[in-house]
């Protein structure tokens, strides 16, 4: 079923996949930063497997970027709340949760924290427990390590990203930050630094760079299923799990954590982007967890290696 979600003068195209029988619950999908189309394989996979378990799936197009700037997390959370309101017209008062991958996991958690009672559960894949700036420092350093660059290169990368971050915060001038980028651009590792060749003309363009997710986690107050790839090279998994566990001690979180064998940042093998490569451990755990929390199946969590570290 094709729908539309109206947000601030923009209509986001959406697809709703409904079960053929009784609707027992529903999931709204939130996007990774580089995967804003509703046809992305991870989202299509959910639309294929969940309706058979009585769970509706709503996928929609991510709000467009403006002048190349990322969509602020608060706007993504507003869009998610609007999507839930549209979904309610078709599924009634069944439990509605959010599924988010990578950046979408932050937006999903923020939606739950800002709208008490709106979100019945969260399913989060590769959810970072540190700020976007800290996560990008970690992730880009891992890319250099995996490509065989030296410790000295890692030091230079860290200095470069730190300089750019200070400019974006408005703590240093653009000329010095751009000079640092110009010098680094000739280095063979620069394409792995994930920085623009030309810096924006004004600071403040990375709205969420210092977003602290841990206090938001504590305010979610709903069941949470976390998936982390065992070899994720973009998210500091141990630090993220520790942040969630701290949040669970101060909030009302029902927390399940599952590390996916053979997966990295995506719930698929070899970082492939096709449905055939998606981990069966992920699929099994996802459906079983939903069935147990929606009262549609047993509480057996076969396939999930619950992390207790």
Per DSSP, the residues of 229-247 read ETT-SSS-HHHHHHHHHHH
Average confidence (pLDDT) over 151-162: 98
What distance, in Å, lies between the first and last C-alpha atoms of the chain?
A: 43
- 179 Cβ contact list (under 8 Å, min separation 6): none
User: Between β-strands 10-17 and 55-60, what pairing exists: parallel, antiparallel or unpaired?
Assistant: antiparallel
Using an 8 Å Cβ cutoff, are 305 and 261 in contact? yes
What token pair was written down for 15?
């697809």
Task: Measure the CA–CA gap between 28 and 87, rounded to whole angstroms.
Answer: 8
Span 33-70, pLDDT tens digits: 889 899 999 999 999 999 999 999 999 999 988 776 78
Span 278-294, pLDDT tens digits: 999 999 999 999 999 99
DSSP tag of 275: G
- 33 Cβ contact list (under 8 Å, min separation 6): 70, 102, 103
- Tell me how far CA of residue 133 lies from CA of 78, 299, 303, in angstroms: 23, 38, 33
Q: Is the pLDDT of residue 128 over 70?
A: yes
The sheet with strand 223-229 has its strands ordered as 2-7, 10-17, 55-60, 25-30, 96-101, 122-125, 223-229, 254-260
Average confidence (pLDDT) over 147-152: 97
Handedness of CA 98, 58, 295, 279 (dihedral sign): negative
Range of lowest pLDDT (48-52, 172-176, 246-250): 246-250
- What pLDDT was estimated at residue 303? 47
- What pLDDT was estimated at residue 165? 96
Average confidence (pLDDT) over 6-17: 93
Q: Which domains does the chain have, with CATH numbers?
A: 2-130+211-294 (3.40.50.1820), 132-192 (no CATH)
- What pLDDT was estimated at residue 251? 67
Q: Is the pLDDT of residue 309 over 70?
A: no
What token pair was written down for 201?
């003309």
Q: Residue holding tokens 């990295």?
A: 264
**Nearest one of 269, 271, 294, 295 to 283, comparing CA atoms:** 269
Total-model pTM: 0.92
Task: Measure the CA–CA gap between 54 and 306, rounded to whole angstroms.
Answer: 25
**Nearest one of 89, 136, 97 to 223, comparing CA atoms:** 97
- 295 Cβ contact list (under 8 Å, min separation 6): 24
- What pLDDT was estimated at residue 211? 96
Span 178-211, pLDDT tens digits: 999 999 999 999 999 999 999 999 888 788 999 9
Task: Measure the CA–CA gap between 76 and 17, rounded to whole angstroms.
Answer: 21
DSSP tag of 5: E
Span 63-115, pLDDT tens digits: 988 776 789 999 999 999 999 999 999 999 999 999 999 999 999 999 999 99
Task: Measure the CA–CA gap between 39 and 275, rounded to whole angstroms.
Answer: 11
3-class DSSP assignment, residue 91 = helix
Span 221-247, pLDDT tens digits: 899 999 999 999 999 999 999 999 999
CA angle 55/109/278 to nearest 5° reads: 50
Task: Measure the CA–CA gap between 292 and 285, rounded to whole angstroms.
Answer: 10
Task: Measure the CA–CA gap between 304 and 221, rounded to whole angstroms.
Answer: 22
Q: Residue holding tokens 């030296």?
A: 150
């Amino acid at each position: 079923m094709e729908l539309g979600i109206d947000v601030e003068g923009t209509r986001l195209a959406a697809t709703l996949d409904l079960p053929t029988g009784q609707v027992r619950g529903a999931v709204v999908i939130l996007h990774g930063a580089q995967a804003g189309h509703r046809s992305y394989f991870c989202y299509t996979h959910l639309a294929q497997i969940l309706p058979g378990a009585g769970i509706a799936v709503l996928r929609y197009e991510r709000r467009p970027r403006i002048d190349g700037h990322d969509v602020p997390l608060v706007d993504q959370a507003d869009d998610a709340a609007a999507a839930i309101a549209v979904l309610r017209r078709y599924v009634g008062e069944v439990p509605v949760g959010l599924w988010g991958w990578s950046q979408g996991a932050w937006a999903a958690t923020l939606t739950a924290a800002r709208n008490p009672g709106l979100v019945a559960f969260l399913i989060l894949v590769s959810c970072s427990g540190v700020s976007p700036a800290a996560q990008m420092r970690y992730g880009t350093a891992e890319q250099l390590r995996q490509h065989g660059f030296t410790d000295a290169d890692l030091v230079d990368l860290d200095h470069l990203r730190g300089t750019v971050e200070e400019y974006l915060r408005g703590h240093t001038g653009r000329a010095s930050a751009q000079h640092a980028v110009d010098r680094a651009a000739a280095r063979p590792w620069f394409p792995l630094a994930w920085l623009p060749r030309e810096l924006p003309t004004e600071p403040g363009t990375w709205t969420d760079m210092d977003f602290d997710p841990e206090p938001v986690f504590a305010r979610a107050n709903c069941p949470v299923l976390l998936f982390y790839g065992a070899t994720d090279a973009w998210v500091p998994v141990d630090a993220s799990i520790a942040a969630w566990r701290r949040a669970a001690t101060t909030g009302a979180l029902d927390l399940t954590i599952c590390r996916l064998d053979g997966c990295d940042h995506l719930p698929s093998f070899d970082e492939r982007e096709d449905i055939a490569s998606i981990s069966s451990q992920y699929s099994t755990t996802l459906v079983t967890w939903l069935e147990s929390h929606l009262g549609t199946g047993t509480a057996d969590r076969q396939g999930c290696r619950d992390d207790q570290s």
